[in-house]
Chains A and B, each alone.
Chain A
Amino acid sequence: MCALERKVFYLNVTAFSIAIERVLEPSLNGRPVVMAPVKSERSLLWEVSPEAKNEGLKKGMSLAQAKKVCKDIIVLPPRPDLVNQVNRKIENKLLSNLTPVYEVEKPGHAYLDLTGLEKLYGEKGDMGKKILLDLKNDFSLIPSVGSSINKLVSKVAAKSKVDDIVLIQEGKEKQFLSPLPVEVLPLVRQIIKVKKDTLFQDLNLKKVRDILSLSPYALEVAFGKTGTEIISMAKGIDFSPVLPPKKEHALFEETYLKEDTNDLPKLRQVLSTLVESGLFKLRKKGLFCQKIEVSFRYIDYKFVSKEKELKNPSQYSYEIAPLVLSLFYDLFKRRTRIQFISVNFKELIQNEIQLSFLDHFQGSKEIESTMDSIKNKFGQRLIKYGNEVG
């Protein structure tokens, strides 16, 4: 009995956030569009449409520079909530209906393992068409789809954009990858962009075929121990499974500040509000958190984050609020204003707490419980702690 041929697909919606905006506003189609916070020209580009890319714009470029390079660009403010919302819908309505084995890499980009599902969807070509059409019909989004026997080659195929659907037959992976730039291989990208290593440039290894042509000796000289891994990648070998989604046991409370600020009392107020809002939700669901993470972004887009484990799982303000504040003070070392704050309640569990006979904070718990009752009846905004209002 021959093993089933793996059928892995990669779904790639280029410039996903802009693609969503184009669905909502079709007049944006075909025009150079970028996504950047519009408050100031000192912002950096978060996303660029293919038309903008052709004009020489790229992610990370300053908005001021982008406007000079391409005077006709349309600038849209980022809407991360909308992107997450659409992404969740795609996941729930499309991906999970196609197969239980799918892995969202990032919004608008996902792997699907459709191995053994030919009877449902037909051959590979039909599967690819179905994915494409479903996304087009249900969401008006047009992806590029790549397929092969593994994740690596499927993704490269989708991003190559040779066609809307690029199918690589089993056994043709090496042939497909050979003429492509070495940067298509993930490990190579990691070496170049993350480690900032110039090794490929130094050794004049420009195409995948250059790597394939190296002898084992040369591979060791160039890559040392990672040579084996790189040559496998260059041959299109990848056994990594498509990982089904894990349930995220976390609750995120985050906000973009109405006005960027470095004023400590104001920032403390925002943190308090986030903490109280999150804890209210946790208590409502009967959940306790074991870890807290505080993150924020400065107006120059530097993002900082720190987390700490609680001694005991908790859902109470008197235990969690001081920790949140302490994490914030640890992080807040610059004077630059903050634009976005997030408090993440992680590793959530249902926990029955053994009440301590000597619990000095029983009173605090009762207060919080009473406040929760009022909030449930009349709304969260009706009653707040003093430090939530500044």
Chain B
Amino acid sequence: MNLITVSGPPSSGKTAVILKTAETLMRRGVKIGAVKFDCLHTDDDIAYEKAGIPVKKGLSGSLCPDHYFVSNIEAVLDWGLKEHFDLLVSESAGLCNRCSPYIKEIKAVCVIDNLSGINTPKKIGPMLRMADIVVITKGDIVSQAEREVFAARVHSVNPAAVIMHINGLTGQGAFELSTLLLEGDNHVDSLKGRKLRFSMPSALCSYCLGETRIGESYQMGNVRKINLEENQHGK
């Protein structure tokens, strides 16, 4: 079985891109399964089911969804192996822009949209910088110039990635993505001992453990303070 991780900021069109791509994959005889990681709520599993794709969902609740993902991806992989999928797609939302959901030697796709602003590529960390394929969506509603500028910005933060434009509504470009996903032999039987491409965002402070009160005396553990002095000089 092949495993592919798809990530990207909320509402960038991850599910639409996956569904359109899955459609062409299924037509090419590929047996596909999906797992959706999210934080509080998702209806995306219904969308997958409607498309005839077996799906599992995992909600991280009050935990960092990235940490939740990496603690559960092995179990999900086992489920996929048991179901005999040819391809398992893991979809997760990049909620804090510092997400780092990619695993070494596992194909990584980042979905990002043209409407998110031209400085967005710089704001996003490993999720964009470490992806193998960057899919840019919503190109049908912005000007050609903005598309070109946005793609150039993505290129400057991740020069090695293949940058593709996909229309999540019409599916234009999805067939081409499916070709890239099938390329190469990336069979995985186990993720044990594999490594993340980059360390995940970290924190372990009293608020991680459920503290709700505000005040210096309640702050314990890994706490960091804003530097307002430096802020004044514009940096």
Q: Do A and B come from one complex?
A: no
